[in-house]
Chain A
Amino acid sequence: MLGNDIVDLYLAKTQSNWHRKNYLDKIFTTEEQLLISAAENPDVMVWLLWSMKESAYKIHNRKTGIRNFAPKSLSCTIHPNTYGEVNIDGYAYFTKSSLQTAFVHTVAAPNYNQLDEIKITIYEAPHYLFDYKSTKPGCVSHHGRYLALVY
């Protein structure tokens, strides 16, 4: 089972104002908020942590059947080379992220060893594959100009 999440940084800038009072506190743990305030580029850190949580949630949701909005219960740890780990209710999901100027993308898997075997395809509008569903992706993420598929 795979998870993936893409954030179009250009759209995120206009769509979400994370500087809004109490915004970060609703989503991020104390440790995560410290990572954001200490980051060289807080904007990228916010969306990196967010995409880690979203990609892990997409697996957790399918695995447990639980559908909710509890971003703070997904706790992120960032390891070197943009690897990471997301913990929720005793489950651990492993992540690998890609930080680009225009987007942040994260893939998640239940086992660390799976991460390097995941095939990632990212399309930028308007070059979307016509019928991507027939390629049977393991997870689909769409935001702004980007469509991200993982296999």
Chain B
Amino acid sequence: MNKEQIIENLKTIVQPYSEETSALAHIDENTDFINDLKINSANLVDIILDIEEKFNIEIDNDSMAKMLNVKATTEIIAAKLEARAGQ
């Protein structure tokens, strides 16, 4: 899965937790979950759990700590997918 595909999947995941339709439509690497999409911090946990289910990966606490924007989140997902493929 390439970066664009990860971002596309991520967009579907975050959509139900944001009412910022314009920011959602223009989602890119620089999009911040809290500042731009106004996602409630308690819902960030749901996003992490949705990511784990969708990509079949496990997000450890150190990774989760960084997952406040699309760029960091995409990088973490890509790294986890790569690690799994290498097993």
Contacts and interface: CB of A to CB of B under 8 A. Distances in A.
A26 B45 contact: yes
A73 B61 contact: yes
Interface in A16-74: 16-17, 20-23, 26-27, 50, 54, 67-73
B46 interface: yes
B42 interface: yes
Describe B's contact surface by its main secondary structure: helix
Size class of the B contact interface (CB-based, 8 Å)? 10 to 19
B79 interface: no
Contacts, number: 45
Contacts of B65: 68-70, 73
Given A15-B40, A72-B61, A143-B40, A22 B68 contact: no
A12 interface: yes
Interface in B26-58: 40-46, 48-49, 52
Interface of B: 40-46, 48-49, 52, 61, 64-68
The 9 closest A-B pairs by CB, nearest first: A70-B65, A68-B65, A16-B42, A26-B45, A69-B44, A69-B65, A69-B68, A72-B61, A23-B45
Interface of A: 12, 15-17, 20-23, 26-27, 50, 54, 67-73, 143
